């Protein structure tokens, strides 16, 4: 290492500020000859996002690397939770940042909007990397003008996005990790059998309570029993592998049967010491997904306020397209489905003592 160089670093050199602060060039001035005051804010807000996107990719790449291993050290689950929480905090800041942009009024925006065509946030390559790394699949995406979202990128960028998908996204890696969860089944214990019995008992109790209720009319009883029958159907997705596979083939579910069962197990027994950090990990993935969805909704709302029903500079129908992505571009939808499959702790068949010991920190 060149120590002399190390000792003379200056703040602005370390941060590359000369270069960084020379990258704000309002088009209204360069093309139109008169700077629109708010264009500087517009540029800086976008640049700030792109810098944070860079940090998010840095964090996701490290979690991806951890989860690419065949066996994941327990400590690294904690590291992953820590880094994903950071991603979530950055995304939350991203949601807040929209309010800064909204200090620009629609009329202020019109002062320079024409100079931006056909550029659009739709071309944010880093945003696509984040979505792809997390696991948003091509066939899940809403497209417009019959073109794939990659059509705006050059060949090199397209290949990079393809290689991220091919090397396994977070959804793929988490699925594999869940499938390897020990304890779900061993020589003396079957979570599936115990869970299935708990559900059966719970449904029988609920059905009995409806039938014998003194407060419900016969009609109401019938309706409630019918509703109970449909929640029974939902439990079938975990109790019945064929049904699960069918829904997966129809695109309703993403995770394999084994991965889903493990996620239910972890969520139900999350208070057992060994399952705490896997539970935190799954929960943090949901946080990240949810905050990204919040950003999509917030951005769509801001766009409505800013340009009304006008088409976007990138050629989409604008607000309507963005609102649809907020609804459909959810990445870890299967983890939300787990909540449907939970049953109250009081109605769970207790773990056998041997299994409880295995899941605890047990000292001889
Ligand atoms: C005045 C402010 C803004 C307006 C009017 C606006 C408008 C739009 C519109 C209409 C689209 C859909 C594509 C198109 O037709 O162009 C879009 C997409 C997008 N914008 Fe913005 N945007 C604004 C600010 C931002 C900011 C600050 C970011 C931060 C990076 C951003 C990131 C994106 C991204 C990532 C997409 C792609 C979304 C997707 O396809 O799921 N936008 N924007």
CA gap 18, 346 in Å, rounded: 63
**Residue 45 in contact with ligand 1 by CB distance below 6 A:** yes
The domain made up of 3-197+229-359 has a fold known as: Methane Monooxygenase Hydroxylase; Chain G, domain 1 (1.20.58)
120, 136, 296: residue to mutate for ligand 1 pocket, most atoms within 8 A of CB: 120
**Residue 126 in contact with ligand 1 by CB distance below 6 A:** no
pLDDT of 253 higher than 70: yes
pLDDT of 238 higher than 90: no
pLDDT per residue over 254-301, tens digit each?
999 999 999 999 999 999 999 999 999 999 999 999 999 999 999 999
**Residue 325 in contact with ligand 1 by CB distance below 6 A:** yes
pLDDT at 278: 96
pTM: 0.94
Closest CA to 319 of 29, 82, 81, 106: 106
**Residue 101 in contact with ligand 1 by CB distance below 6 A:** yes
pLDDT band at 237 (very low <50, low <70, confident <90, very high): confident
pLDDT at 203: 87
244: number of Cβ within 10 Å: 21
Structure tokens at 100: 């800064």
Percent of the chain surpassing pLDDT 70: 98
- Residue 189, exposed/middle/buried by CB under 10 A (0-12, 13-18, 19+)? middle
Specify the DSSP class assigned to residue 190.
E
Query: Whose alpha carbon is nearest atom 40 of ligand 1?
Result: 122
Higher pLDDT, 70 or 238: 70
What ranges in the chain are assigned the alpha helix state H? 3-7, 11-14, 17-20, 27-30, 39-68, 74-101, 106-110, 125-134, 155-166, 170-179, 191-211, 218-239, 241-249, 257-268, 273-307, 319-328, 333-340, 353-359
pLDDT at 248: 92
* 20: CB partners within 8 A, 6+ apart: none
pLDDT at 6: 66
CA gap 305, 336 in Å, rounded: 30
CA gap 269, 250 in Å, rounded: 30
pLDDT of 364 higher than 60: no
Closest CA to 341 of 242, 207, 202, 226: 202
Report CA(162)–ligand 1 centroid distance (Å): 23
pLDDT band at 361 (very low <50, low <70, confident <90, very high): confident
27, 36, 42, 122: residue to mutate for ligand 1 pocket, most atoms within 8 A of CB: 122
Cα 107 to Cα 13, 39, 45, 104: the distances in Å are 39, 12, 18, 8
Structure tokens at 187: 């020589």
pLDDT per residue over 331-357, tens digit each?
999 999 899 899 999 989 899 999 999
């Amino acid at each position: 290492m060149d120590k002399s160089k190390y000792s003379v670093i200056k703040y602005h050199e370390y941060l590359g500020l000369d270069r960084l602060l020379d990258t704000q060039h309002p088009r209204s001035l360069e093309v139109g000859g008169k700077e629109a005051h708010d264009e500087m804010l517009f540029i800086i807000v976008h640049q700030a996002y792109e810098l944070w996107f860079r940090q998010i990719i840095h964090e996701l790449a490290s979690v991806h690397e951890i989860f690419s291993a065949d066996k994941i050290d327990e400590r690294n689950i904690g590291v992953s939770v820590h880094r994903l929480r950071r991603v979530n905090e950055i995304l939350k800041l991203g949601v807040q940042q929209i309010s800064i942009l909204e200090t620009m009024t629609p009329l202020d925006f019109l002062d320079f909007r024409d100079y931006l065509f056909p550029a659009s946030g739709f071309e944010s390559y880093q945003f696509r990397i984040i979505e792809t790394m997390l696991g948003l699949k091509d066939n899940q995406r809403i497209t417009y003008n019959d073109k794939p979202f990659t059509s705006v990128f050059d060949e090199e960028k397209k290949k990079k996005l393809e290689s991220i998908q091919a090397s396994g996204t977070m959804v793929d890696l988490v699925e594999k990790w869940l499938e390897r969860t020990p304890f779900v089944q061993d020589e003396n214990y079957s979570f599936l059998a115990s869970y299935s019995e708990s559900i059966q008992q719970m449904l029988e109790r609920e059905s009995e309570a409806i039938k014998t209720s003194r407060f419900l009319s016969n009609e109401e009883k019938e309706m409630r029993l019918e509703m109970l029958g449909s929640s029974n159907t939902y439990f079938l997705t975990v109790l019945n592998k064929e049904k699960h596979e069918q829904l997966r083939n129809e695109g309703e579910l993403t995770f394999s049967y084994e991965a889903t069962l493990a996620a239910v197990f972890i969520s139900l027994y999350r208070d057992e010491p060994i399952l705490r950090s896997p539970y935190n990990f799954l929960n943090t993935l949901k946080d990240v997904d949810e905050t990204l969805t919040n950003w999509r909704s917030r951005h769509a709302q801001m766009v409505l306020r800013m340009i009304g029903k006008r088409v976007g500079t990138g050629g989409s129908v604008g607000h309507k397209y963005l609102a649809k992505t907020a609804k459909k571009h959810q990445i870890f939808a299967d983890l939300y489905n787990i909540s449907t499959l939970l049953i109250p702790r009081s109605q769970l068949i207790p773990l056998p003592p041997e299994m409880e010991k295995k899941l605890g920190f047990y000292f001889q």
